[in-house]
Amino acid sequence: MIADFQEDERRIGRELEMRMDAELEYIDEGLTLLGVAKGAKRLFEGEDLYVKKQVLTTLLSNSIYRNRTLTATYRKPFDIIVKKLPQAALAREPEGGFSPKSRKWLPE
């Protein structure tokens, strides 16, 4: 009985360690993604037209340019992300970047 308890304790310890490692990996991946997103405008501007077209094709579908106004329709899952952004986050700064209300979530 004690041996069974000790084996369960070791198994649970291993599972907990694996889950903690996986959680740290998710955090690292999330920070990397935020870092890429933070520099996306700069990266996009530095690319050639073919790469820009590929990025826009990935993000958008059925965009319409009518009466000097461009209306963009985002592909899934980007549509959900854009809908969830507060309107203030979509306002542009003078240099053309986005201006969210809080920058605490942005990596240094």
Q: What DSSP line would sit under 13-26, residue for residue?
A: HHHHHHHHHHHHHH
Closest CA to 58 of 32, 76, 82, 34: 76
Indicate the number of domains in the chain.
Answer: 2
Contact 50, 35 (CB under 8 A): no
* Domain shared by 53 and 34, yes or no: no
* Domain shared by 54 and 31, yes or no: no
What does the alpha-carbon distance between residue 32 and residue 24 come to, in Å, rounded to a whole number? 12
* Domain shared by 61 and 103, yes or no: yes
* Domain shared by 83 and 59, yes or no: yes
pLDDT at res. 1: 81
* Domain shared by 7 and 53, yes or no: no
* Domain shared by 18 and 59, yes or no: no
* Domain shared by 51 and 96, yes or no: yes
pLDDT at res. 95: 47
pLDDT at res. 64: 87
* Tens-level pLDDT at each residue, the chain (108 residues): 888 888 989 999 999 888 888 788 878 887 777 777 778 888 888 888 998 888 888 888 888 888 888 888 888 888 887 787 766 555 554 444 444 444 544 444
* Domain shared by 34 and 51, yes or no: no
What does the alpha-carbon distance between residue 55 and residue 53 come to, in Å, rounded to a whole number? 5
Could you count the other beta carbons within 10 Å of the beta carbon of residue 37?
13
pLDDT at res. 89: 58
pLDDT in tens, 9-38: 999 999 988 888 878 887 888 777 777 777
* Domain shared by 73 and 107, yes or no: yes
* Domain shared by 64 and 102, yes or no: yes
| Residues constituting the chain | 108
Q: Which domain holds residue 53?
A: 47-108
Q: Where are the beta strands (DSSP E) in the chain?
A: 64-66, 69-71
Q: Tell me the whole-structure pTM to 2 decimals.
A: 0.46
